[in-house]
């Protein structure tokens, strides 16, 4: 096998797994086990891809069908793509583990694991592709799988949330198609590396600005940035627990990945305006997400709103755009994915143990008395989200603040500090409500989901908080690569121009 | 002819978005299809098709670019799948809420 095929494996393994998992649709346990095995194989392949890219020191490129670069579809695994793909598959594998130990009816749906695998394919593919239209195809695969997975939720409002999400996401897809058309009219190519070179050479074609606006709109809807966030809390709170954990942690990172690519590759020279907008929207999101999370009455919804705030930090770092800030954005994205997935699983776990199956604080009040292990995990994860050592959340916030000091943007830094305090308020309030208040008379917990998956993720967060050096080195190397887009462009060996 | 194509695509976008924003879910789904088709026509005109010859006429100099047509084929398949999916969801929504008005399909408040 050639080294170039490595970049194909993280996409093809889950896709083949999805097709094969359908064969076992009459035997749910076999299907679940097979799908989990396929996800682990995909995770191993993306880890090996990252290791390979890291050791050879240049991006791995695969040309689908053997067509040379700007004509065929390229799959490119550089450090950013490979790190993001590894992050996604790690969290998705943990979510599949949670689903294996879950009592939710949705996880026994005959195509649940198939849809989970196609979602993995879409998300990984969108991060590894080097072609704008191919990004659209993978993003649509992701959207349809996520919608179907939420529509089969045990929560009867899941269909309404899925319907809303599908409309908004289709609108995002339309934005991306308009951007594809505009860029194709202007430059006659859809290959990201080729486009980057041509935009840098002739930045004043008439439709370039429209394409930038449409791409920014697409990625903002994908990551639920504030003016486009309205579908997100409903969608993430009503999905089955295993799915809401991955939606709110890794699926929103598609937009983060897109913004990093937009500002460092595609529009590397002309993105000052976009960066200023990202910093502003990040600050707005920080406050909007934090205050909304503090005002909710449902643990899952609180964590969904908290994602808006945490994405705000990443956007601020991308907006600053210096190498340390980009490294901070990558570290923050990675750590937030682990922590938010674990926290949402814990919220779902509490809901599954509650007398009425809901994550509403009214029902959960005082239940913590019977669930001490979940309490310890929730406390650790919550401290991580707030950014208190020794959790990895501290490291990510430290990096963001330090890069901000280097940039000298003290106003935004002060606002980000206040936003961080808001997150302390809502996490502390949730913890106090569930574990410190006495339960209502005669309340008993039911048997429910298993705690393996969130325990695993929290353990990983603690390890990354205490021994963060490898992740930091990786993020710093990624930022160096991002600072010089010519590496990415030359790796594709474009045939013309 | 270019201007006419552009005007038609613009009108389709307008009609589609107007329908998409209607309160009735079925009209809204139809708007979804109209917007998808407007996008496909936009991509077609991105391929240097000047509107006077068939899209792949073998005339030297006015030959159309084949790539946008491949993109349109993909986009048609995806939007067809998406539309079927929307209709399937509408079926469930209509059965569950006994309504076709978006103002009545809004129980997600808490």
Task: Please provide the DSSP assignment of A240-298 as one string.
Answer: -HHHHHHIIIIITHHHHHHHHHIIIIITTTS-HHHHHHHHHHHHHHHHHHHHHHHT-SB
- Two tokens, residue B64: 């159309």
Picking from A126, A169, A125, A127, the residue whose alpha carbon sits closest to that of residue A147 is A169
Average pLDDT score, chain B: 83
Please check the confidence at residue B52 and state whether its pLDDT lies above 80: no
Q: Exposure string (b/e) for A199-221, b if CB count within 10 Å is 16 or more?
A: bbeeeeeebbeebbebbbbbbbb
Query: Reduced to 3 states, what is the DSSP secondary structure of residue A129?
Result: strand
Quote the pLDDT of residue B105. 81
* Rounded Cα gap, residues A101 and A99, in angstroms: 5
Confidence at residue A118, expressed as pLDDT on a 0 to 100 scale: 96
Q: What is the tally of helices (H) and strands (E) in chain A? A: 21, 2
State whether residue A360 is helix, strand or coil: strand
Cα four-point dihedral sign A479, A480, A486, A490: negative
Of B46, B85, B97, the CB nearest to A144: B85
Q: Which residue has the higher pLDDT, A37 or A485?
A: A37
What digits encode the pLDDT tens for the residues A305-328? 999 999 999 999 999 989 999 999
Nearest residue to A451 via CA among A353, A349, A359: A349
Q: Taking Cα atoms as reference points, which of A223, A472, A488, A487 lies closest to residue A323?
A: A472
Q: Is the pLDDT of residue A290 over 70?
A: yes
Interface test with A, best of B27, B89, B99 (most A CBs within 10 A): B89
Round to whole Å and give the CA distance between A208 and B109.
Answer: 40
Q: What is the pLDDT of residues A417-473, one digit of tens each?
A: 999 999 999 999 999 999 998 887 777 888 888 899 999 999 999 999 999 899 999
Subunit contact B96:A360, Cβ cutoff 8 A: no
Q: Which residue has the higher pLDDT, B12 or B94?
A: B12
Would you tell me which residues 358-377 of chain A have a C-beta closer than 8 angstroms to some C-beta of chain B?
360
Tell if the CB–CB gap between A177 and B39 is shorter than 8 Å. yes
Token duo for residue B32 = 């979804």
Q: Between chains, do A160 and B93 touch, taking CB under 8 Å as contact?
A: yes
The confidence score (pLDDT) of residue A497 equals: 46
pLDDT at residue A146 tops 60 = yes
Touching check for B76 and chain A: CB below 8 Å? Answer: no
Q: Are A170 and B82 in contact (CB < 8 Å)? A: yes
Q: Under a CB-based contact definition with an 8 Å cutoff, are residues A143 and A222 in contact?
A: no
Query: Cα torsion at A199, A205, A206, A209 (round to 10°)?
Result: 20
Mean pLDDT of B57-76: 74
Predicted confidence at residue A26, as pLDDT, reads 87
Place of tokens 């240049």: A58
Number of alpha carbons in the 13 Å side-chain half-sphere of residue A62: 21
Q: Does A144 contact chain B (CB < 8 Å)? A: yes
Q: Which residues of B touch A298 (CB under 8 A)?
A: 110
Region A253-278: mean pLDDT is 91
Write the DSSP symbol of residue A439: P
Average pLDDT of the segment spanning A398-423: 92
Report the pLDDT averaged over residues B34-62: 71
Q: Does A278 sit behind a cis peptide bond, omega within 30 degrees of 0 on the bond before it?
A: no
pLDDT value for B62 = 59
Contact with chain A for residue B3, Cβ under 8 A: no
DSSP of chain B: -HHHHHHHHHHHHHHHHHHHT-SBHHHHHHHHHHHHHHHHHHHHHHTT--SSS-TT---TTTPPPSHHHHHHHHHHHHHHHHHHHHHHHHHHHHHHHS--BTTTS-----
A472 Cβ neighbours under 8 A, 6+ residues apart:
A327, A331, A395, A399
| 3-state secondary structure at position A441 | coil
Q: Give φ, ψ of B106 to 5 degrees.
A: -150, 80
Q: What is the pLDDT of residue B110?
A: 57
* Mean pLDDT (chain A, rounded): 91
Residue A159 to residue B106, Cβ atoms within 8 A: no
For every residue of A95-110, DSSP letters joined together read HHHHHHT---GGGGST
Contact A363, A297 (CB under 8 A): no
pLDDT for residue B63: 61
ipTM of the complex model? 0.90
Q: Cβ atoms within 10 A of the Cβ of A366, count?
A: 16
- Residue B80 CA: distances (Å) to CA of A114, B31, B73: 21, 13, 11
Alpha-carbon span A427 to A296, nearest angstrom? 12
| Rounded Cα distance, A88 and B48, in Å | 39
Convert the pLDDT of each residue in A79-108 to its tens digit: 999 999 999 999 999 999 999 988 888 888
Q: A162 vs B69, which has greater pLDDT?
A: A162
Over residues A112-136, the mean pLDDT reads 94
Tokens of A456: 């695993």
| Pairing mode, strands A74-77 and A60-63 | antiparallel
Give the pLDDT confidence score for residue B59 in this predicted structure: 55
Per-residue pLDDT averaged across A37-61, rounded? 93
pLDDT at residue A136, rounded to an integer? 94
């Amino acid at each position: 096998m050639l080294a170039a095929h490595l970049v194909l494996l993280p996409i093809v393994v889950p896709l083949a797994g999805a097709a094969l998992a359908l064969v076992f649709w009459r035997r749910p346990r076999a299907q679940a086990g097979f799908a989990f095995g396929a996800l682990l194989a995909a995770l191993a392949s993306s880890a090996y891809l990252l290791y390979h890219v890291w050791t050879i020191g240049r991006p791995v490129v695969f040309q689908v069908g053997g067509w040379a670069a700007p004509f065929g579809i390229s799959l490119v695994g550089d450090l950013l793509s490979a790190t993001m793909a590894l992050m996604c598959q790690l969290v998705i594998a943990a979510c599949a583990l949670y689903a294996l130990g879950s009592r939710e009816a949705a996880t026994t749906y005959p195509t649940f694991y198939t849809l989970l695998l196609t979602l993995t394919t879409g998300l990984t593919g969108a991060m590894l592709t080097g072609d704008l239209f191919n990004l659209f195809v993978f993003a649509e695969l992701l959207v349809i799988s996520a919608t179907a997975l939420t529509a089969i939720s045990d929560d009867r409002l899941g269909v309404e949330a899925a319907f809303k999400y599908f409309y908004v996401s289709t609108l995002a897809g339309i934005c991306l198609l308009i951007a594809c058309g505009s860029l194709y009219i202007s430059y006659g190519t859809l290959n990201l590396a080729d486009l980057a070179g041509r935009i840098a050479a002739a930045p004043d074609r008439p439709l370039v600005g429209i394409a930038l606006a449409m791409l920014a709109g697409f990625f903002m809807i994908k990551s639920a940035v504030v003016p486009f966030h309205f579908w997100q809390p409903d969608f993430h709170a009503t999905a089955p627990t295993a799915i809401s954990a991955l939606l709110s942690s890794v699926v929103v990172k598609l937009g983060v990945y897109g913004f990093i690519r937009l500002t460092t590759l595609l529009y590397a020279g002309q993105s000052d305006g976009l960066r200023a907008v990202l910093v502003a929207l990040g600050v707005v999101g920080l406050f909007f997400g934090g205050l909304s999370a503090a005002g909710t009455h449902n643990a899952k919804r609180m964590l969904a709103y908290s994602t808006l705030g945490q994405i705000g930090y990443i956007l601020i770092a991308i907006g600053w755009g210096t190498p340390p800030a980009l490294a901070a954005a990558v570290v923050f994205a990675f750590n937030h994915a682990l922590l938010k997935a674990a926290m949402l699983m814990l919220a779902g776990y509490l809901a599954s143990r509650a007398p009425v199956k809901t994550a509403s604080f009214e029902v959960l009040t005082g239940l913590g008395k019977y669930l001490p292990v979940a309490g310890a995990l929730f406390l650790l994860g919550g401290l991580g989200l707030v950014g208190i050592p020794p959790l990895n959340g501290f490291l990510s916030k430290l990096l963001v603040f330090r890069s901000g000091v280097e940039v000298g943007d003290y106003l935004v830094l002060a606002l980000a500090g206040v936003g961080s305090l808001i997150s302390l308020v809502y996490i502390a309030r949730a913890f106090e409500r569930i574990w410190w208040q006495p339960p209502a008379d005669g309340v008993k917990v039911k048997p429910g989901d298993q705690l393996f998956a969130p325990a695993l993720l929290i353990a990983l967060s603690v390890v990354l908080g205490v021994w963060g050096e490898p992740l930091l080195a990786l993020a710093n190397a990624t930022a160096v690569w991002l600072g010089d887009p010519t590496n990415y462009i030359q790796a594709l060996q474009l045939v013309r121009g | 002819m270019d201007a006419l194509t552009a005007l038609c695509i613009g009108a389709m976008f307008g009609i589609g978005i107007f329908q998409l924003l209607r309160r009735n879910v079925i009209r809204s789904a139809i708007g979804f299809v109209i917007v998808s088709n407007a996008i496909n026509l936009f991509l077609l005109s991105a391929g240097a098709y000047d509107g006077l010859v068939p899209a792949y006429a073998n005339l030297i100099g006015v030959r159309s670019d084949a790539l946008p047509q491949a993109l349109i084929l993909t986009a048609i398949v995806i939007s067809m799948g998406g539309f079927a999916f929307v209709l399937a969801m509408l079926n469930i929504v209509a059965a569950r809420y006994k309504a076709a008005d978006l103002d009545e399909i809004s129980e997600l408040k808490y």
